[in-house]
Amino acid sequence: MPWKECDQMDERTRFVILALEGVPNFAALCRRFGISRKTGYKWMKRYEETGQLALLRDRSRKPTRSPSKTALKVEGRVVALRQEYGWGARKLQVLLRREGIRLAESTVNRIIKRNGLVRNPGAHRPATKRFEHENPNDLWQVDFKGQFKVQGGYCYPLSILDDHSRYLVGLYGLSSTKAVPVLCCLQNVLEEFGVPKMILTDHGAPFWSTTNPLGMTCVSVFLKGQGIRLTHSGVRHPQTQGKVERMHRSMEESMRHHGKPKTLASAGEWLQTFRYQYNHLRPHEALGMDVPAQHYQPSKRAFQPDPPAWEYPADMQVARLNTQGCLDYGGQRLFVCEALAGHWVGTLQVDGRLVVQFHDQLIREIMLDTRRGMAFAP
């Protein structure tokens, strides 16, 4: 039988940890995890080869060397010029030649595409399957619409849309995409409409962080504390959030018709008017010309201002991280994750290393002799 697909990496890690702790019957341990003894020995051998629990992921079949690949320094220069000017390969080729870097136009194009710097909206991967969750509050789609200029700055509309009913549970005009105002908006809608099972966002701030492989932010930690599963759309694949993107198109059309607000305050009023019309007045073809309000009802899961402490396994020690996301352990200060600053985590020492877990998610593996750590990749 295969590993559990929902959490394959964590299952492998927990299997190896239990084996290292000296479980007397290896065959029984394999049966407990639903794998063959051959697979169990394979992952014990993988651990012995790598010496890292966090490296138990499937190995890539990509060649370890690619002699024809452009040097990283040169590739970085192509990326920097593309980001600065936004020009195509032919113009960038001229700039690179001025710096003594000679690359074929096709090579520059490959670098641009490989680094996700193609902005042609028609180049996105097509959405091959339409999905819709069965019940209200099974999934909310959360996204920022492109900002527009107002007096003294910009307005960043934050949209929170129920996937099943298309009901806009929240629509806010913010002055930035910073985490604190987003947290306030999320708390408002959770208090009013209850807690959904899942929330879908893109890989932008403040929902995803590039500073750690898990992408954890204070927003994702807050949602996890409410028992919400946070999932992310495919990279450069906005169709995953098709419903909220379609709503944004309707918002843009309405804004062109009525004119864009001039101030941040008037933008907030305009967005609330649009939200009411979208939820209660505008017929929706996908709903049989009903309005979203006819298909939505609040969640039965209430928001918890002070969620109960997570119960970690009995063999784990529970500790609180400091304001920098570090753990004091055995007289050492060990970095875990900045997004988890001030939160309680579970720790387990095994084979000269410390495994750190937050709620049900493995976070980091730290070598106690060197204090070097490695995050568990999602």
Assess whether 88 and 154 both reside in one domain.
no
Q: Would 61 be classed as within a structural domain?
A: no
Assess whether 118 and 170 both reside in one domain.
no
Assess whether 240 and 92 both reside in one domain.
no
Q: Is the pLDDT of residue 10 over 90?
A: no
pLDDT digits (tens, 9 = 90+) for 281-333: 888 888 888 899 999 999 999 999 999 999 998 989 999 999 999 999 999 99
pLDDT at 254: 86
pLDDT band of 70, cuts 50, 70, 90: low
Least confident of 61-65, 157-161, 185-189, 235-239: 235-239
Q: Which residue has the higher pLDDT, 345 or 62?
A: 345
CA distances from 343 to 93, 222, 231, 346 (A): 49, 10, 21, 10
Assess whether 77 and 51 both reside in one domain.
no
At which residue do the structure tokens 């070097």 appear?
372
For residues 186-197, give the mean pLDDT. Answer: 97
Q: What angle do CA 6, 33, 318 make, to 5 degrees?
A: 75
pLDDT band of 1, cuts 50, 70, 90: very low
Assess whether 78 and 106 both reside in one domain.
yes
Using DSSP's 3-state secondary structure scheme, residue 352 falls into coil
pLDDT at 205: 87
pLDDT at 237: 42
Q: Which residue has the higher pLDDT, 81 or 129?
A: 81
pLDDT at 239: 44
Q: Would 301 be classed as within a structural domain?
A: no
Q: Would 162 be classed as within a structural domain?
A: yes
Assess whether 116 and 31 both reside in one domain.
no
Report the 3 state secondary structure along 147-180: CEEECCEEEEEEEEEECCCCCEEEEEEECCCCHH
Q: Would 328 be classed as within a structural domain?
A: yes
pLDDT at 124: 40
Least confident of 12-16, 83-87, 354-358: 83-87
Q: What percent of the chain has pLDDT over 70?
A: 87
Assess whether 172 and 214 both reside in one domain.
yes
Q: Would 65 be classed as within a structural domain?
A: no
How many structural domains is the chain composed of? 4
Q: Which residue has the higher pLDDT, 371 or 122?
A: 371
How many Å apart are CA 89 and CA 91, to the nearest integer?
A: 6
How many Å apart are CA 186 and CA 205, to the nearest integer?
A: 15
Assess whether 164 and 283 both reside in one domain.
yes
Non-local CB neighbours of 227 within 8 Å, separated by 6+ positions: 195, 301, 307
Q: Is the pLDDT of residue 66 over 70?
A: no
Q: Is the pLDDT of residue 127 over 50?
A: no
Whether 271 contacts 172, CB under 8 Å: yes
Q: Would 66 be classed as within a structural domain?
A: no
Assess whether 332 and 279 both reside in one domain.
no
How many Å apart are CA 15 and CA 32, to the nearest integer?
A: 9
**What's 206's domain CATH number?**
3.30.420.10
Q: Would 37 be classed as within a structural domain?
A: yes
Assess whether 11 and 109 both reside in one domain.
no
Q: Is the pLDDT of residue 183 over 70?
A: yes
Using DSSP's 3-state secondary structure scheme, residue 229 falls into strand
Q: What is the DSSP string of 5-17?
A: GGGHHHHHHHHHH
Give me the domain span that covers residue 291. Answer: 139-295
Rounded mean pLDDT of the chain? 85
Whether 284 contacts 291, CB under 8 Å: yes
How many Å apart are CA 288 and CA 47, to the nearest integer?
A: 55
Q: Would 81 be classed as within a structural domain?
A: yes
Q: Is the pLDDT of residue 85 over 70?
A: no
Using DSSP's 3-state secondary structure scheme, residue 130 falls into coil
Q: Is the pLDDT of residue 348 over 80?
A: yes
Q: What is the DSSP string of 87-99?
A: --HHHHHHHHHHT
pTM: 0.68
pLDDT band of 73, cuts 50, 70, 90: confident
Assess whether 148 and 221 both reside in one domain.
yes
Assess whether 163 and 234 both reside in one domain.
yes
